[in-house]
Structure 1
Amino acid sequence: MQKNCLECGEKLVGREDKKFCSDSCRNAHHNKANRNENVLIKSVNAQLRKNYKILQELNPENKGKTSKSRLQEKGFSFNHITSIYKTKTGTVYYFVYDQGYLPLENDFYALVKKN
């Protein structure tokens, strides 16, 4: 039984279980198959990087305070975080890697950095 490359359709020569004629066809096939997943991962990582840079810029001394509007005007997304830390007293900090924030009253946020 003759098999053809899953990517380009060329006749396969060699091993019986071979699926692709070359590494480039194998890579092209898997890149196409994973394209949608890669787009999602890239967009989430891009927003996490953006959030991190914003927190880092607004928190140069590793402890500060800012407003929700200032974060939003810089493009911060509150939906993209990497972890949550809850203290014994129930206070919840949200982190993007080692940069974090704590919601305060009147749409203000305390900015912190993990050591």
Structure 2
Amino acid sequence: MERLCLDCGTAVKGRADKKFCDDSCRNNYNNRIKTEDSLVLRRINSILKKNRNILAQFNPNGKAKISRKKLISAGFNFDYHTYYYETQNGNCYIFCYEYGYLVLNDDRVLVVKREEKLWLS
């Protein structure tokens, strides 16, 4: 059975476990795989950063109520966030990094900033 290079498709000669015809093809293949992965990560990180910046913009004093429509019109994407935080009384805050929001009953959201001290080891 003839083995083909994973990058250029030419016949591979040599060891039975060899996947590429030369170092150039190996580098091209691995760089292409890494680029495809990083495009997805960059797109998601871009959305998360935008969401964080929008929450920060509408929350200059640490806590603010704002309409959901206003966030959407600013470009906020409710599908992307970094984590949830559930309080003892059952409220579920949704965060984008240190800025978060709590969905209220009247089509408004309470925007908050979580104050945490980060300790460096």
Structure with more of its chain in helix, by fraction: 1
**Inter-CA distance 15–92: structure 2 relative to 1 (3 Å threshold):** same
Q: For structure 2, which runs of at least 5 residues remain unmatched after alignment?
A: 116-121
Q: Corresponding residue for 2:118? A: none
Q: Is 38-47 or 10-19 further displaced after alignment?
A: 10-19
**Inter-CA distance 61–14: structure 2 relative to 1 (3 Å threshold):** farther
Q: Per the alignment, in what secondary structure is the counterpart of residue 110 of structure 2?
A: strand
Instruction: State the AA in 1 paired with 2:67.
Output: S
Q: Corresponding residue for 2:76? A: 76
How many Å separate the matches in 2 of 1:21 and 1:60?
58
TM-score (ref. length: structure 1): 0.76
**How many matched pairs?**
114
How many Å separate the matches in 2 of 1:27 and 1:61?
50
Q: Per the alignment, in what secondary structure is the counterpart of residue 106 of structure 1?
A: coil
Deviations for 1:26-80, whole angstroms, at most 9, x for unmatched residues? 3320224762x44332222221111011111111222112110110001111110
Q: Corresponding residue for 1:93? A: 93
TM-score (ref. length: structure 2): 0.72
Q: Corresponding residue for 2:119? A: none
CA RMSD of superposed structures (Å):
2.8
Instruction: State the AA in 1 paired with 2:82.
Output: T
Residue identity over aligned pairs, in percent, reads: 40
